[in-house]
């Protein structure tokens, strides 16, 4: 059986949320540019958009733009009841909080 590798760079949700994924900031900016170019009547709102990064030692040096507006970098995003946390957050504090809520 052949091993097949897939890269999923865009995840669409029925509630009009879009998740863009890229291993490089350059690639993510290209995805953002494609969204701007092919959005037709759909307008992306940079004020409602969030940027979260994983694995970079200094993610604050990266700047990404949507509709010529700088996207704000956040350390935690909550979506569908799940917290997605960047590498800059202390995972042990967040994990213990999640575990406490689960047992509560």
| 60-88 per-position pLDDT tens digit | 677 899 988 999 888 888 877 788 887 66
87 in a domain, yes or no?
no
Contacts of 15 (CB under 8 A, 6+ apart): none
The verdict on residue 88 lying in a domain is: no
Tell me 51's DSSP state: B
Its pTM surpasses 0.85 = no
Has residue 19 been placed in a domain?
yes
pLDDT on residue 6: 83
- State the residue range of the domain holding 33: 10-75
Find out whether 16 and 48 touch, Cβ atoms under 8 Å.
no
Average pLDDT over residues 44-59: 78
- Domain count across the chain: 1
- The answer to whether residue 90 is domain-embedded is no
- Print burial letters for 69-80: b (CB count within 10 Å at least 16), e (below 16): eebebeeeeeee
**Residue 67 domain-assigned?**
yes
In a domain, 96, yes or no: no
| Mean pLDDT estimate for the chain | 78
Residue 103 lies in a domain: no
């Amino acid at each position: 059986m052949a091993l097949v590798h897939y890269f999923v760079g865009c995840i669409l949700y029925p509630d009009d949320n879009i998740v863009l994924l890229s291993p490089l900031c350059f690639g993510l900016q290209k995805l953002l540019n494609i969204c701007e170019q092919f959005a037709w009547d759909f307008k992306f709102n940079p004020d409602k958009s969030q940027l979260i990064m994983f694995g970079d030692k200094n993610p604050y040096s990266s700047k990404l733009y949507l509709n010529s507006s700088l996207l704000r970098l956040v350390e935690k995003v909550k979506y569908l009841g799940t917290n997605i946390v960047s590498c800059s957050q202390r995972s042990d504090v967040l994990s213990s909080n999640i575990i406490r809520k689960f047992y509560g």
